[in-house]
Structure formats: structure tokens, C-alpha cells
Structure 1
Amino acid sequence: MSDLPPLETGVTGIRSRFVEDINGLRMHVLEAGTAGRPCLLLLHGFPELAYSWRKVMPALAAAGYHVVAPDQRGYGRTTGWSADYDGDLAPFRMLNLARDAVGLLAALGLRSVEAVVGHDFGASVAAWCALVRPDIFRRVALMSAPFAGVPPLPLGPQKPVPKPDIHAALATLPRPRKHYQWYYSTRPANAEMQQAPQGLHAFLRAYYHVKSADWAPNAPHRLPGWTAEALAELPGYYIMDLGLDMAAQVAPDMPDAAAIAANAWLPEAELAVYAGEYARTGFQGGLQWYRCRTSGLFEAETQLFAGRSIDVPAVFVSGASDWGVYQTPGAVERMRDEACSRMLGCHLIPGAGHWVQQEQPAEVTRRLLEFLAASPGA
């Protein structure tokens, strides 16, 4: 895979290239704007790519920024990572993903960026970047996934406290369910999506559709707590039917041909870019991130930062139809009141679901530029 060519984005003003020797990676990046101008680093989520920023990069560049969006570890045309399910998970832990970002900036000759902007799982990386190295990441914009803060460090003698088994409770509901993050952590998940019976392109079409504002049943609201009954209010793409894989879960909600033809934010040619990349790489690189989270293997090292908050200017932007805002009960409140000491706004954009920067790029760009103009960097 090391001889992959640059990606043809089809978007005027966006350049594709590779940066060598980034924390063991050959990193594929998309760029817009002129090097030497204030830099914005954009970090994508799952199952996405640097390409997910294509609709906002030219406008941010036109506003005077040098915009850099990498394919993160495990994704796209970035190489140097292993997709072995039985391989080492440590390279995919959050602090190493932040190190990837720092390494990329160093390779570009940058001592700091005006802001790091993260969407979905990329928001977690962006949050840790801002928390650990505020000298480098002068502002942070979190999109679609609230950052609830650093895991606490237990103090004093600790006696194990049995916790309710949320997975057992979900499985015994009248409609038996399971949590998608733990499904993503299973061995079969990659093949079940990459080799979906309906085809990879159709699977991605249905998956992107149900998490967008185009899917009428998306009516997110706060949940009362981390209980099976409360979580069961989430749609099936978050709290899945117990006996289904993700491809089967979203298949009944595949949009019809007319809806696909009318889709302006993700036309077939653009969806084909995602399908082509994931047909080649599979999903396991991104799924390793979930396995780091659900296993808890690396929580102890993040506890080193217990009590720390993000102290650079911060903003949260999401779609008004995005259940991701509320999937972890209380996360938005903890982000706003505790995890970010300089939270300047939480914006829920109408007409957008989870893929907010693709569904409503003009409004996302406006909110980002407004935030950059209003906030002095760290």
C-alpha cells in the first residue's frame, strides 16, 4: 500500500500529498490554502476520511487559513498501521493518536495551529490534543461528539464496587439490544461491513443516511441515565438489535432511488470515494480505536491528567438531528461545565445530522470562522 497515489478529490483548491515518517506512518493529507498562513488541523471520525472535510476546506482557505486534514491512523491512504485484529492495540490509543497529530505538525514545520477541529471520534483526538498540548493547539472545535473530560484518578484505598452489567441488561430488554461500540469491538464486525450482503457501497449509503437529517425518525433528546431502558431510546444504529450486525441493522432504511438521486450533500460519485477506500483498507483500522475504548486497556495512562481541563477557547458544533450529542447521558453538560473551562458556545445546526460538515458546510464554516474571530488563542 506504500505506493498509493494521491487522492483525486475533484474539488478545486484541495491538494493531496503524503508526509513521511510521522510516528511510524506515511500520512496522507489533504491541504487547502497557502502554507505560512495560520493553520487549521481537521481530524475526521468513523467511518470517514480526510475527504469528509472537502466541503469546508476551500471556504476556510479563502478566509485566510492553511487547512490540513490527514487520513488518521487506520484510515484511507495513510499507511504504517496494522489491521490485524490480534495485533497490538497500543498504537491506536488516544495519546498516541494525539502524538500523530503533533508529529504531523512538526513535519510541516509548525510550532502551533490556530485550532484543531475534530469530528466524531476525531473530536476525542482533538480534545486530548488541546488538553495535553495547549501551547500547540491554541483553540479546539469539537463536532458531533462531546468530550466529557478526563477519567478520574481514584484516591485512597479502593474496594471494588460491582457495577451493573449494562450489556446483560440490554440483552434482556423486551426488544433485546446491544451497544454499537461493543459490536464494533468484535472480531466479525470488519468483515460483516466490508463484505455486506447488499454490497459495501449500499451499506455505506444506508449507514450515512440513517445518521443524517434525511432520516425522518432522528429526533434526538437528552436521556435520563446510563440504563438499558434509557439507552433503548437510541436508534438501532447506536443500540443495535441483539441478533443483527450493522449491515443488517441499517439495510431496512436504505433510501430509495429518488432520495439517492436528490441527495446533494453526498451524491453517488462522492460516496464512491468512501466505498473505494474502505473496499481497499477495510474498517479494522478505525475499529481498533473502539477496541481501545471498550477494553479500558489504556485508561490508566489518561488518568495521569485527572483534574485537568481543556483551558484553550473551545466550541461545540453538531447537527440538530444528531443523536451522537446525547448518546452518552450527561456528556454535553460535563463538557460545558467542567471539561472545557473556556467553552464559548454549543451550536446545534438545523438540517444536519451526524455528518454536519458535509450536510451543512456553509453553516459549519460560518460557526468556525465566528469562533476563530471571537476567541484569542492560548
Structure 2
Amino acid sequence: MYQPLPEGIRSARADNRNGLDIHYLEAGDADAPVLLLLHGFPELSYSWRKVMLPLAEAGYRVIAPDQRGYGFTTGWDGDYDGDLGACRMFNLATDMVGLLHALKTGPVRAVVGHDFGSPVAAHCALIRPDLFRAAVLMSAPYGGPPPLRRRVPASDIHADLAALPRPRKHYQRYYASRAAAADMLHAPQGLQAFFRAYYHVKSADWPENRPFELGGWRAAELAKMPTYYIMDRDRDMAETVAPHMPSDEEVEACRWLPGEEMAVYARAFRQTGFQCALNWYRCMTDPALSPEMRAFAGARIAVPATFIAGAQDWGIHQVPGALKAMAETATADWRGTHLIEGAGHWVQQEQPAETVRLLLDFLKGL
């Protein structure tokens, strides 16, 4: 079990019949309507610890699993040359269908996904609206399923980034590389220091996070984002975030992620490594690895949906046009976009009270 864990949050396991023995955290009455909370990268079920009890006290059974490749969940392949297809989006959604069947929950009131959990939640709602009756997407906008015929870009964005006067590379391209997992696991500054810098630089605590809408999917526009998204070509992620390591005074002042909680992430990823989690990026960035999703071309999420993110989160603009597409073309029953001041990328940890308020407002509207 993760420690420290707030009293009232339980830890359990379930066989999802899709190859995983899923570890999950749970709070609330077993007979209450279910909320399924899906974490992102590099996160854990533990990332929901600040919102689970308030949601349970509001009358919900709250379930937060460690997804494939994360935490105490087992049964996944962590080899770069292993079973890559298991990390494709359709199978990640199947993981959650299997978990709900194992727990005999019936339909869930809402599936809530943060960061990479956001597209998983979106696909759950798209594929099984009978089981996932509403969707809350957080920090990563969902622009819809892939088209039936892949669009051929006018130029290679990765070549264009590398050709800039200050050569750059996209962080997802880096995460798909063979070197990325070892770079982070064996970061020269140490794993916990790497996590501290990474979480700091993507939070509202880093004053340079002042996001704005980009002009398009072009190298010169993408390069306006911080280097944790559009990296310097010759730096890995550990090197990228190291210059932004917060001071001892800043770490001490960080109430939303004190040292003992930060250590939970370092311990977990030291045990599991990063590779299976990074295989999600490999599947997402290569359309050939998710051909089944083309069957949903043009389909909209039919159930009620909303978006919550930090106002200081560059993630909301990292795919130009996705925020607008999510509300106008990717969903059929849009319930609003909500940006929380004083929060960066880790919105449910940085501003849990406001996150809970927005979640409950959405749920009441159902």
C-alpha cells in the first residue's frame, strides 16, 4: 500500500481478465454510484488521494486503479521489445471494462481521466457509453478518434523542429525512444530529485508557466512551449528539468506535494521502471499501432462530458485546436471547459478543493 495514505482510503486488488492483477484504491460506500478515476504519466492511483475522500463523502464509491505499467498492478510487459500492442488505447479501455466487471459495479456514474488518463477515459466513454455514463477529461484535451484515412502532413514536424535555429524535439517523440526509460530511471540527480524538478516545472509554482493558444501545428509555434514539451534536441528529460529544480525553501513551502508524498512516486517507479508506461506514447504516436480506432472515425462521445485543467497548464494548448475540437466536434453533450487558477498540470493535487467542487457540480447536472 502507498504510504502515507489518508485514513479512509482502502487498497485492494482484482483480476481484470485482460492479463492484469489490478491494484486500486477505493473510498466510499460499496453500494454508492461509482466514479472511476484514471491517472496519467508519471502518476499513480495515489495521485487522486486528495480528492477521493471528499467525493466519497458526497455520496460516491470512488475507485482509482494503477493502470497498466504502473504502481502495484502486475501482469504487464515492461520490455521495450515486448508486447507493445497491449498498450494501445483500445486495450487500455478494455483494462477498465475488465476491472468494472471484476468488481461487479455495473455502469459508472462517470469516468474521470487526468493527463494520459484523459484519452483513456474519452475512449472508454466513446466505445462503451452503456458502461461509462459520463466523462470528465482533465489537463489533456481529446480531439476525437483518428480519421478513416490518415492525413498526410505537408512536412515532417520532427524534421522541422530539428531544423530550427535552436534545434528541438517533441517530448512524445523522445518518450517513444529506446533511451528514455533508462534516462529517467537513472537520472544523474537521483530519481526523487528528477521527480521533484519534473513536478515543479509543470506546476503553477514555476512562474514561467503562462500558457497561451498556439497558432498551429508548426515547428516555430510549438517551440514557444517550455522545454519540458518541446525539448532541446540534444538533452534528455532529466537534463531538461534539472536546471529548474526548486530550492530547499521552495520544496519546504510546497504544501500540495510535501517530501514524504513525493517519495511515494520515486519508490514506485524505482520498482516498476518507466518502459511500459512509455509504451503508451509509442502506441499513441504511431497510428499503425491502433488501427481498430479507425472504426470510430467521425464518432462523438455521446455521454455528457466536461474538461477541467489548471489555468497555468501548457498541456491544454500542446495540440493546437484540440481544446476547441473537444467541445465542438469530439463530443455531443458538452458541459463546459473549466480552468482553475493557481494550478498547473497536476490540477487535482495542486487545487483539490476546487477540482472537487467542479466535479460535483458536473455530477449534480447529470
Q: Under a length normalisation based on structure 1, what TM-score does the superposition of the two structures give?
A: 0.95
1:169 to 160, 185, 188: 160
Q: Residue 124 of structure 2 aligns with which residue? A: 129
Instruction: State the partner residue of 1:266.
Output: 257
Per the TM alignment, residue 70 of structure 1 is displaced from its structure 2 partner at its CA by 0.2
Aligned-partner Cα distance in 1 for 2:335–2:287: 31
Cα distance in structure 2, aligned partners of 1:233 and 1:320: 17
Q: Does 1:288 align with 2:283?
A: no
Residue 192 in structure 1 maps to residue 214 in structure 2: no
Q: Which amino acid aligns with 1:122?
A: G
1:305 and 2:296 matched: yes
Residue 43 of structure 2, aligned match among 34, 41, 48:
48
One-letter amino acid of the structure 2 residue matched with residue 366 of structure 1: R
For residues 5 and 285 of structure 2, the distance between their equivalents in structure 1, rounded to whole angstroms, comes to 37
- Deviation of the 1:18 alpha carbon: 1.1
Partner Cα distance (1:359, 1:334) in 2:
27
- The aligned residue for residue 253 of structure 1 is 244
2:57 paired with 1:62: yes
1:120 aligned to 2:115?
yes
Q: Does structure 1 residue 95 correspond to structure 2 residue 86?
A: no
Separation in 1 of the partners of 2:64 and 2:365? 23
Tell me the secondary structure at the aligned position of residue 365 of structure 1.
Answer: helix
Distance 2:272 2:146 in 1: 32
Structure 2 unaligned blocks of 5 or more: none
Q: Indicate yes or no: 2:335 matched with 1:340.
A: no
- Confirm or deny: 8 A CA contact 1:73 1:97 kept in the other structure: yes
One-letter identity of the residue aligned with 1:44:
H
Using the alignment, how far apart are the partners of 2:329 and 2:300 within structure 1?
A: 7
Q: Answer whether contact 1:151 1:299 (CA < 8 A) is retained.
A: no
**Is the partner of 1:54 in helix, strand or coil?**
helix
After TM superposition, the structure 1 = structure 2 runs for residues 313-332 of structure 1, keeping only pairs within 5 Å, are 313-332=304-323
Q: CA deviation at 1:162?
A: 6.0
In structure 1, which of residues 6, 11, 14 is the aligned counterpart of residue 6 of structure 2?
Answer: 11
Matches of 1:121 and 1:58, distance apart in 2: 23
Question: Out of 332, 349, 370, which is 2:361 matched to?
Answer: 370
Select between 83-92 and 358-367 the one with higher mean Cα deviation: 83-92
Could you list the per-position Cα deviations for residues 199-221 of structure 1 after superposition, in whole angstroms to 9, with x for gaps in the alignment? 00000000000000000000001
Contact (CA 8 Å) 2:114, 2:137: kept in 1 or not?
yes
Kept after mapping to 2: 8 A contact 1:167/1:178: yes
Q: Give SS of 1:56's match.
A: helix
**2:262 aligned partner, one-letter code:** L
What secondary structure does 1:288 align onto? Answer: helix
Structure 1 residue 227: deviation in Å?
Answer: 0.5
Stretch moving more, 195-204 or 145-154: 145-154
Alignment partners' CA distance in 2, 1:15 and 1:281:
22
Root mean square deviation of aligned Cα: 1.1
Structure 1 stretch displaced more, 185-194 or 12-21: 12-21
State the 1:301 CA deviation. Answer: 1.1
Of 55, 59, 71, the residue aligned with 1:76 is: 71
Structure 1 position 8, deviation (Å)? 3.4
Kindly tell me: are residues 161 and 195 of structure 1, through their superposed partners in 2, closer, same or farther at Cα, counting changes over 3 Å? closer
Matches within 5 A, 1:145-156: 145-154=140-149
Deviation at 1:161, TM superposition (A): 4.7
Shift of 1:293: 1.2
For the pair 1:214 / 2:209, whether they are aligned, the reply is: no
Change (3 A) 1:164 1:318: same
Equivalent-residue separation in structure 1 for 2:191 and 2:185 (angstroms): 6
Q: Is the 8 A contact 1:43 1:122 kept in 2?
A: yes
Structure 1: where are the runs of 5+ without partners? 1-5
State the 4+ residue runs in structure 1 displaced beyond 6 angstroms.
none
Query: Deviation of residue 21 (structure 1)?
Result: 4.3
Which of these residues, 160, 163, 171, is aligned with residue 180 of structure 1?
171
Q: Partner amino acid for 1:60? A: L
In the alignment, the residues of structure 2 paired with residue 206 and residue 296 of structure 1 have an alpha-carbon distance, to the nearest angstrom, of 32
Q: How far apart in 2 are the matches of 1:248 and 1:309?
A: 40
TM-score (norm 2): 0.98
Matched letter for residue 283 of structure 2? C
2: CA distance between counterparts of 1:256 and 1:161?
46
Q: Are 1:228 and 2:219 matched, yes or no?
A: yes
Deviations 1:253-307 (A, max 9, x none): 0000000000000000000000000011111111000010122223421010112
CA distance in 2, matches of 1:306, 1:50: 31
Q: Does the residue aligned with 2:137 lie in a helix, a strand or coil?
A: strand
Distance change >3 Å, CA 57–CA 12, structure 1 → 2? same
AA of the residue aligned to 2:121? A
1:23-52, CA deviations, whole angstroms, 9 ceiling, x for partnerless residues?
A: 110100000001111000000000000000
Q: Which residue matches 1:240? A: 231
